[in-house]
Amino acid sequence: MVSLTAAVGSARVLLSHSLLRVSLKWPNDILLGGKKVGGLLSEARGDGRGTGVVVGLGLNVNHEEKDFPKELQGRITSVLLESGRLWDRQHLLSEILIRWEQEYEKLLSAGPGDLLEGFECFSEFKDGSRLRIDQEGESVCGHYAGLGPRGELLLRTADDSVQSFSFGDVGRVSEG
């Protein structure tokens, strides 16, 4: 849930700056205008005295098109390219970290309902979208059926059963 908290918090900050085409691709990609602008990675850590989660964010802020490798141009973007202006990276990071904390506190106090609803609002995938999930060398195709109570992706398969995925590489499958 911490990774989803960071994703929703990041999306809400970008939206607050009038970047209206912000979306999230489960489980950890941030998109602007359908192009990847950033990603999140979270990892549970423990040292015997307690446990915690480390969350990393990579966000293309002031990159120009020429800064990206040729093979990625057209598929990735930056906040600069989508907004047309340079950004103070420290200020943007500060806003994102404050929002992460607010989203996490809300998760702890009110449960996951608002977080899951927020992710669904920003989700690149809408109910019924045809998807393929690659996981540990196996691929499963089906239709997006939302998120489960722990943030797992739900996929309705050809036999009309719903499978739950807590990780995997997700992509759209064209109809036909």
Q: Are the C-beta atoms of 172 and 143 separated by less than 8 Å?
A: no
Could you report the per-residue pLDDT of 3-27, keeping only the tens digit for each? Answer: 999 999 999 999 999 888 999 999 8
As a whole number of angstroms, the distance between CA 34 and CA 123 comes to 11
| Best CA proximity match to 117, nearest among 30, 21, 19, 24 | 24
- pLDDT band of residue 45 (cuts 50, 70, 90) is confident
Mean pLDDT of 137-164: 95
Residue with tokens 């998120």: 147
Q: Give domain limits for the chain.
A: 2-122, 130-172
Q: What is the pLDDT of residue 25?
A: 96
Instruction: Identify the pLDDT of residue 49.
Output: 79
**Topology, domain 130-172:** SH3 type barrels. (2.30.30)
pTM over 0.85: yes
pLDDT of 168 higher than 80? yes
Question: How high does pLDDT run on average in the chain?
Answer: 94
* 91-140 tens-digit pLDDT: 999 999 999 999 999 999 999 999 999 999 999 999 899 999 998 889 99
Strands (E), 47-175: 51-59, 130-135, 138-147, 153-156, 162-165, 169-172
CATH number of 2-122: 3.30.930.10
Burial class (CB in 10 A: 0-12, 13-18, 19+), 80: middle
Q: Three-class SS of residue 12?
A: helix
* Whether the predicted pLDDT of 176 surpasses 80: no
What is the average pLDDT across 165-170?
92
Q: Which residues contact 85 (CB under 8 A, 6 or more apart)?
A: none
